[in-house]
Amino acid sequence: MTSRACLGEAPWALGLLGAAQSLGGALGGLLVGAVLGRLGEGRTLRLALGLAGLGLLGGALLPPWPLLAGSAFLLGAGGALFGAVAGAIRLGEAPPELRGRVAGGFLFLSGALAPLGPLLGGALAEVALPLPFLLAGGLLLGLAPLWRRGRAA
């Protein structure tokens, strides 16, 4: 079965989605300092979760690929913002002599657990293609208002 039969788009259009998400991540990474300076940690984290959640919910609607690329862009921007700020908070709370171990341990654990998300998403997509996007986007948008100064309430 081809991707066109599954998702209704040509493979080149699907490739643009990854590019849009990467560009969103690059822009999110460039704007971290400016957004942090203006909003502070807690509000930046809420914004990041909101952007990523909206990106995922936009994907659940399965719009035409140009709109889906916009959703992927939001997901990338929110993910980069969140990752940079949450990483800085995590390392800022670790004693200086343990920061390397904390960073390495986090990267190891997140890398080891990374395959679980796509596996779960694929299983949920068998039920309904928008389901993993709806659940993940709803979860992120639900967590956004609970975030205070770098920690979930």
Q: Which residue's entry shows tokens 């998400």?
A: 21
CATH number (1.20.1250.20, 3.40.50.10280, 3.40.50.150, 2.30.130.10) of 12-147 reads: 1.20.1250.20
- What digits encode the pLDDT tens for the residues 31-48? 999 999 999 988 999 999
- The per-residue pLDDT for 59 is 86
> Of 18, 6, 15, which is closest to residue 75 (Cα–Cα)?
18
Provide the residue ranges of all domains of the chain, joining segments of one domain with +.
Answer: 12-147
Any residues with CB less than 8 A from the CB of 119 and at least 6 apart, and which? none
Count Cβ atoms below 10 Å from residue 36 Cβ, excluding itself: 17
State the pLDDT at residue 44: 93
If we measure between CA atoms, which residue out of 84, 86, 62, 78 comes closest to residue 21? Answer: 78
The reported pLDDT for the residue numbered 28 is: 94
Is residue 9 within 8 A of residue 65, CB to CB? The reply is yes
pLDDT for position 148: 64
At residue 153, the pLDDT reads 41
- What is the pLDDT at residue 61? 85
Burial of 71 (0-12, 13-18, 19+ CB in 10 A): buried
Q: What is the pLDDT of residues 56-73, one digit of tens each?
A: 999 888 788 788 899 999
Q: How far apart, in whole angstroms, are the C-alpha atoms of residue 142 and residue 153?
A: 12
| The predicted structure's pLDDT at residue 70 | 93
**Ranges of the chain whose pLDDT falls below 50:** 1-5, 150-153
- Model-wide pTM > 0.75: yes
Tally of CA atoms within 13 A in the half-sphere of 40 that contains its CB: 6
